[in-house]
Structure 1
Amino acid sequence: MIQTKKENPTGKKTSLVSRFFRSSELRSSKDESRRESNDFGETDSQPSNGTQETATSDTAKPQPLSSEMELGSGTEKNEPFLQKLGRKAIYKCLDLNNCRLTTADVRELVALLPFLPDLEELDISWNDFSGGTLCSLTQQMHLISKLKILRLGSCRLTADDVRALGEALKATPELEELNLSWNSKVGGNLPLILQKFQEGSKLQTLELVDCALTPEDGTFVGELLPILQNLEVLDLSINRNIGSSLDSIAKGLKSTSNLKVLKLHSCGLSQNSVKILDATFRYLCKLQKLDLSCNKELGGGFEGSAAQLATLKPLEALDLHQCSLTADDIVSLTQIIPLLSNLQELDLSANKKMGSSSDNLLSRLRFLPALKSLLINNCALESETYTALAEASIHLPALEIFNLSWNKCIGGNLKLLLETLKLSTSLQVLRLSSCSLVTEDVALLASVIQTGHLAKLQKLDLSYNDNICDTGWAIFCQNVWILKELTELDISLCPSNFRDCGQWFRHLLYAVTKLPEITEIGMKRWILPASQEEELECYLQDHKRSIHVDYGGT
């Protein structure tokens, strides 16, 4: 692994207050510069990264605190900071996500709250220290009553923290988003946190992923949902014990007509759960994303039990991966999925029955022209089903992500996808890992690259295809430099196989010099001779490129 890392040149840790002050000074300086520029009639330029930003008319969203600087003991006094802060600075976003906060840092954070009356977003997720210290913060929540977003994911909250949080939420009537994910003590105590929510609550997002929720918690959620009329996102994933309380949850869902995202990934759902949910779908007229994945007992439940799923016309994402779908399920889904004309993301991966019974379903994907992401990896596709998929994929012009990994039948038959590869001008991610590809397949891929048909490709996974000879890799590496937007390339070998790199490695190294965006190259179990390893390291040092090259190893 080749990796560069910047170190703190002073070797000293900075307190939360000092760090916050530096950030405020930087923003103040930028504001002054912007005002000076505007005095001369200059206008702000558009973002250069290609993303579209939305500005509000009343105030500009400030930059969150950087999480790259180290936080320390917080021993520096905050008086100078508070004197300079005064009443001029109004911060709406305080992002301390994954900052290795200490108990002293929390004390400083609490000291800041009186000076942040307009704070709208507070994120202290992924700070494992937090457990047992949240009480000091929640006692001051009334000082930030305008809070709209509170994220406390993976903070190791204790039972005392949970109780204190429940009381504190009474002081945040504007709250729109609450994330308590990955806190196991939430399980069994959920009513203590959420029972203070009243009719008319503004809560739009509730995330409780992997919180060890009990069946009783699930029942409580069902009873709470009618109160949350503005709820748009509900994520209860990885709570395996709430499947038995799905009746209550589904009953509550009938009152959430504004719901746009429902995630029940790995929730212990059964065949009967499909029938229960299907009865609620007609009430979820705005639902855009539905995730029922990794519920292995769900298999067999779709047979004649999911007719209402077809009424979800706004649905844009459907995730049914690893649901043990049966042949009868697939027959039912064949009648439903093609009717979801707005579908943009479809994940059917890791359902082995797809291989022998999904040709009708896959052929009808042509009726989903808006489809951007199609994941059908590890489905044991057979020749007939693969052919149906290849023919349908020609009619998916918007396709950006295409994952066919772990389908062995593709080996020697990549040519069936030739027209798709030529026509998919939007394709950004192509995964063909462990597809038994042969030399002729990568030569075909190289020819498609050479003609410029995959110009938008950013991620290409050809790993675990050990039957490709050195000649094939040479042809591929001689052409891969044409993919100017490529950021990740994986050509790793299977765990049981080790091979010496051939002369094609020089072609790959040359390609890297022509790929301005590349950051990751996977070459696990390829063995570099000392001369080639030295050549690689010298190149990365000389060109000061931040590229991770993972080679050799196990």
Structure 2
Amino acid sequence: MDQCYSKHVVDQQQTKSYQRNYQVLIDIPDEIIIEILKYIPSEIIIGKCSLISKQWYESCWKVPFSIRVKTRRAASIFEETLKSERFDTCLRIQRLDFSFVPIIGNSLELISSSPSMKSLQHLNLTRCRVTSQEIKILADSPNIRLLSSLILSGCLIGVDGVKLLCQSTNFSHLKVLDLCDCSLTPEALYHLSSSPNFFRLLSLNLRNCLVGDEGAKQLSQSQFITQLTHLDLTFSQVGLEGIKSLSNSRNLSNIIHLDLSHCEITDNGTKQLSSSPYLSNLTNLNLTFCKLGPESSQFIAESFHLNKLINLNLSYCKIGYEEMKMLSARVKHLVCVGSTVVNHSVGRNKDSSTVSNTVSTAPHTTIRMLQPAMLC
């Protein structure tokens, strides 16, 4: 009897506690609910928060959604949701990620024609098999007009797709454009560089595109792409002439991150970079697998312009031992995985542990040598 009574008392206390908590939830002003929802993942907002009360349900549809579609089946469900009049008029999608999910023209037409996309700012179509036909659908959309970030990595859009990006005002708000692995040529770079659509562009990824020296020259002479802070030219076949063009361009005066790994750069190219007054804001420089000798590390270490450099990657390059010590005193993070450290001094060579210990004595400096350095 006592046990039953005690259980009854506990149940009553829990019920009152739930009622108090529920009362707290329903007494919150709409503005605070909306502010809270901004920090909650979209799937939780739809699946749980919208079920709390009518007030919460109505507030949920006032918050921009970030949606990640992970499978083709999920894409089909998302498309059916867009067809529903119930959601079509109230759903506000700010971020949409279809990466690695094949998307066909009919699907993109449905997405582009939905009023739910009027707030869309970030669109990720990485490896979605997008071609110039799908780019045309985006370019002609009456709803997708506020895009600030467009990821097309691994899509075969070709020169025709680039032309559409350059011509449609739907892309005139872009700040981030990722064209990695799109097999673009200098002709495509010419159209990109000549388009007023990209005057707001801050980040450009041309990794594994056929940029070459001619493409780098087009980019450096652009009248519109002048605000870049991040530029990735990995595997882009840029050589000395391309580096000269970039180093002498005011268009790179805001650059803080420059990736030139796996390019055709030699010591002369590094000399151009180190002596450029337009790279004075550079904080991250990647020269992995470039054809650099010990002179390159000396040029960087003695540069009057690379004063803000924090992260430097010289992996699989030749680095002078003394210059390596100078670099470690100058940059915060020095990466030289698999690099050959050349000791110019007469006498026996130092082993890799001595090199690491010498460099690591610089205050606040991290050196990463995941493989033993070769010394010669």
- Asked if TM exceeds 0.5, the reply is yes
Distance 1:164 1:154, change over 3 A: same
Residues 115-168 of structure 1 deviation map (CA, whole Å, 9 limit, x = unaligned): 952241232243353455553233246334532222222222233212222222
Verify the 8 A CA contact 2:212 2:242 in the aligned structure 1: no
Residue 175 of structure 1 deviates from its aligned partner by 1.9
In the alignment, structure 1 residue 404 sits paired with structure 2 residue 371: no
Which of 200, 206, 209 aligns to 1:258? It is 200
Match of 1:221 in 2: 165
Cα distance in 2 for partners of 1:394, 1:264 equals: 32
In the alignment, structure 1 residue 137 sits paired with structure 2 residue 81: yes
Cα distance in 2 for partners of 1:341, 1:130 equals: 47
Runs of 4+ in 1 over 6 A off after TM superposition: 28-31
Q: Higher relative contact order at CA 8 Å, sep ≥6: structure 1 or structure 2?
A: 2
Q: Which protein is richer in helix relative to its size?
A: 2
Distance 1:327 1:342, change over 3 A: closer
Distance 1:137 1:339, change over 3 A: same
Match of 1:332 in 2: 272
Match of 1:305 in 2: 245
Distance 1:248 1:350, change over 3 A: same
Residues 491-528 of structure 1 deviation map (CA, whole Å, 9 limit, x = unaligned): xxxxxxxxxxxxxxxxxxxxxxxxxxxxxxxxxxxxxx
Match of 2:124 in 1: 179
Verify the 8 A CA contact 1:131 1:156 in the aligned structure 2: no
Which of 168, 184, 196 aligns to 2:141? It is 196
Match of 1:246 in 2: 189
Distance 1:433 1:367, change over 3 A: farther
Residues 262-317 of structure 1 deviation map (CA, whole Å, 9 limit, x = unaligned): 1111122122101110112x64443211111121x222442542244455332211
Distance 1:418 1:123, change over 3 A: same
Residue 214 of structure 1 deviates from its aligned partner by 2.1
Residues 204-231 of structure 1 deviation map (CA, whole Å, 9 limit, x = unaligned): 111111122222111111223x554432
Match of 2:219 in 1: 277
Match of 1:268 in 2: 210
Cα distance in 2 for partners of 1:31, 1:426 equals: 54
Residues 310-329 of structure 1 deviation map (CA, whole Å, 9 limit, x = unaligned): 55332211111111224443
Which of 361, 364, 372 aligns to 1:425? It is 364
Please state whether the residue corresponding to 1:248 is helix, strand or coil.
Answer: helix
Cα distance in 1 for partners of 2:98, 2:83 equals: 16
Match of 2:322 in 1: 387
Match of 2:283 in 1: 344
The count of residues paired between Structure 1 and Structure 2 equals 342
Cα distance in 2 for partners of 1:182, 1:375 equals: 28
Cα distance in 1 for partners of 2:225, 2:184 equals: 24
Match of 1:16 in 2: none
Cα distance in 2 for partners of 1:267, 1:288 equals: 19
Match of 1:157 in 2: 103
Match of 1:123 in 2: 67
Match of 1:373 in 2: 311
Please state whether the residue corresponding to 1:302 is helix, strand or coil.
Answer: helix
Which of 35, 53, 75 aligns to 1:59? It is 35
Residue 177 of structure 1 deviates from its aligned partner by 1.4
Q: Which amino acid aligns with 1:404?
A: C
Cα distance in 2 for partners of 1:30, 1:408 equals: 66
Verify the 8 A CA contact 1:236 1:265 in the aligned structure 2: yes
Match of 1:523 in 2: none
Residues 447-479 of structure 1 deviation map (CA, whole Å, 9 limit, x = unaligned): xxxxxxxxxxxxxxxxxxxxxxxxxxxxxxxxx
Verify the 8 A CA contact 2:337 2:368 in the aligned structure 1: no
Task: Please tell me the root mean square deviation across aligned C-alpha atoms, in Å.
Answer: 3.8
Distance 1:308 1:196, change over 3 A: farther
Please state whether the residue corresponding to 2:55 is helix, strand or coil.
Answer: coil
Please state whether the residue corresponding to 2:118 is helix, strand or coil.
Answer: coil
- Give structure 1 stretches of 5+ with no counterpart: 1-25, 37-55, 68-77, 91-113, 438-554
Match of 2:94 in 1: 148
Cα distance in 1 for partners of 2:174, 2:74 equals: 28
Distance 1:327 1:181, change over 3 A: same
Q: Higher mean Cα deviation, 297-306 or 312-321?
A: 297-306
- Give structure 2 stretches of 5+ with no counterpart: 1-17, 343-349
Cα distance in 2 for partners of 1:311, 1:414 equals: 42
Percent identity for Structure 1 against Structure 2: 16
